[in-house]
Amino acid sequence: MLQLVNVGHKSLADYATIATRGLMDEIRSLAEPLAGARVLELSATAFGGGVAEIQYTLVPLMQDVGLDVEWRIIRGADEFFAATKTIHNALQGNPQGLTDAQRACFSDFQELNAREIEIDEYDFVVVHDPQPVGVIDHLGGGRAKWAWRGHIDFSTPNDDVLDFLLPSVRRYDAVIFHLAEYVPKREGLPPCVIWPPAIDPLAPKNMALSLEDAAYIVDQFGIDIGRPLLTQVSRFDPWKDPLGVIDAYRLVKEEVAGVQLALVGSMAHDDPEGLEFWDQTVAYADGDPDIFILSNLNNVGSVEVNAFQVHAAAVIQKSIKEGFGLTVSEALWKSRPTVAGNVGGIVTQIENGRTGWLVDSSEDCAGACLEILADPGAARERALAGKEHVRKRFLTPRLLRDRLALFNRLVGRDTGAELEVIAA
Ligand code: UDP
């Protein structure tokens, strides 16, 4: 059997003051006919990155409203994860494709993982991202309804790699994307459902943390709390552009000598490039004592990420490609002035000039940070508008509602709940 992730317990009732009454009622009524439904959630890692972040909240909440959910992690090996990393990069537009050996390895692991799944036990299977997309090739056709969720930025995919995966994608009953423009321009796709992910306002990463407590925590990592801090929280991945963030910081430092930078990034076990890119980032920082490069290996867990976001004068997410970018909602929810790449799902969270700053280069990024440091009052107004935007659209109860609406739809139950569906 594949590894089962222990997600603990959460109670939807705790969210009553954060979600509207109407939304809470809708969730309850959508959940009622699904009581006892058996759901398998399949992903590549239980640690690091946005998918794991979402699952730790969504899975226990689905359980709390009466579904019987298992989240399991597929098996892999270095060679497989190297292939899936190539797939991930290619789907985000990298021209490098898969070798024949990588294709074979990828397919072998689909079969190997499929053999470990007792498919007859489930009513719904939700598969996350490309790594396990092909298990359906070996298990489809039974009573379970299958949905595949792509969490990355599919706006400019490498066609060869996309076409390699499409035969599997076509077998699903529905596929879910963050944005309508991520839907591949191909024939024969299943219904494509569009909804963005969400953050958990009650999780240790996002719960209210006072400025004093945040300052206390970042102080433990050597940050001088009397001087301004810029923070980016991201996996060590070229698409997150930590080197570009260092360039921006250096430009800011020419004008504000005291500025410090924290690059906080976890290492996921399905991310073989992470360690290498971490080393590159450290080398690029060139021993600057005001650049702090930290990760879970330095004991930076959820509360510490929270503190680094809360304490930051500005939070940066200078991505070059970004499926959604949970870190942007995390920062806005904490009313932090947020400067982020003008790409992918970030643009649904930040309206330039109203809820934050969208930037296309390190120079723009530095300019935005300088503006924030020069006029914190105006920056805070923007940040507060950002928080209200997140409250309406990007908190967990809405995501739970969308999921339940989809499950009902997949079994042909008309609940009247709206979903944005693009029938391909
Ligand atoms: N994250 C974290 N610690 C780190 C780096 C990232 O907890 O050192 C979290 C971050 O707070 C966010 C998630 O991992 O919740 C990253 O999700 P996002 O959508 O921003 O990017 P992804 O990693 O999925 O590309």
Closest atom of ligand 1 relative to the 264 alpha carbon: 8
Mean predicted confidence (pLDDT) in 79-105:
97
Contact (CB, 8 A) for 132 and 110: yes
Nearest-CA residue for atom 24 of ligand 1: 50
Please tell me the distance between residue 286's alpha carbon and the centre of ligand 1 in angstroms.
25
For ligand 1, residues with CB inside 6 Å are 49-50, 53, 205, 233-235, 264-266, 295-296, 300, 305, 324-327, 330
Main-chain phi, psi angles of 202, to 5 degrees: -100, -5
Mean predicted confidence (pLDDT) in 415-423:
92
Mean predicted confidence (pLDDT) in 262-276:
79
Nearest-CA residue for atom 14 of ligand 1: 49
Main-chain phi, psi angles of 62, to 5 degrees: -60, -40
| pLDDT computed for residue 298 by the predictor | 81
| pLDDT computed for residue 247 by the predictor | 98
To 10 degrees, what angle do helices 362-374 and 376-393 make? 110
Confidence of residue 47 (pLDDT cuts 50, 70, 90): confident
| Nearest partner of 231 among 338, 149, 124, judged by Cα | 338
48 pLDDT above the threshold of 80 = no
Helix H or strand E encompassing 274? helix 273-285
Nearest-CA residue for atom 6 of ligand 1: 234
Contact (CB, 8 A) for 341 and 317: yes
| Nearest partner of 319 among 358, 271, 264, 371, judged by Cα | 358
Closest atom of ligand 1 relative to the 345 alpha carbon: 19
Q: What are 12-41's pLDDT values in tens digits?
A: 999 999 988 999 999 999 999 999 999 999
Rounded to a whole number of angstroms, the CA Rg of the chain reads 21
In angstroms, the CA 223 to CA 217 distance is 9
In angstroms, the CA 375 to CA 97 distance is 46
Confidence of residue 126 (pLDDT cuts 50, 70, 90): very high
Contact (CB, 8 A) for 243 and 319: no
268 pLDDT above the threshold of 80 = no
Q: What are 135-162's pLDDT values in tens digits?
A: 999 998 899 999 999 999 999 999 999 9
Confidence of residue 296 (pLDDT cuts 50, 70, 90): confident
Main-chain phi, psi angles of 126, to 5 degrees: -115, 120
Percentage of the chain lying above the pLDDT 70 cut: 99
Helix and strand totals (H; E) in the chain: 15, 14
Question: DSSP character for 238?
Answer: G
124-128, 237-241, 285-289: range with lowest mean pLDDT: 237-241
Closest atom of ligand 1 relative to the 205 alpha carbon: 11
| pLDDT computed for residue 269 by the predictor | 63
Mean predicted confidence (pLDDT) in 226-233:
98
- Domains of the chain listed by start with CATH number: 3-198+395-422 (3.40.50.2000), 211-393 (3.40.50.2000)
134 pLDDT above the threshold of 70 = yes
| Nearest partner of 142 among 16, 38, 272, 283, judged by Cα | 38
Mean predicted confidence (pLDDT) in 394-422:
96
Q: What are 307-365's pLDDT values in tens digits?
A: 999 999 999 999 999 999 999 999 999 999 999 999 999 999 999 999 999 999 999 99
Mean predicted confidence (pLDDT) in 92-117:
97
In angstroms, the CA 210 to CA 198 distance is 23
| pLDDT computed for residue 49 by the predictor | 83
Contacts of 21 (CB under 8 A, 6+ apart): none
270 pLDDT above the threshold of 70 = no
Closest atom of ligand 1 relative to the 235 alpha carbon: 5
> 129, 231, 326: which to mutate for ligand 1, most atoms within 8 A of CB?
326
Please tell me the distance between residue 265's alpha carbon and the centre of ligand 1 in angstroms.
8
Please tell me the distance between residue 233's alpha carbon and the centre of ligand 1 in angstroms.
7
| Nearest partner of 126 among 177, 87, 172, 65, judged by Cα | 172
Mean predicted confidence (pLDDT) in 171-185:
97
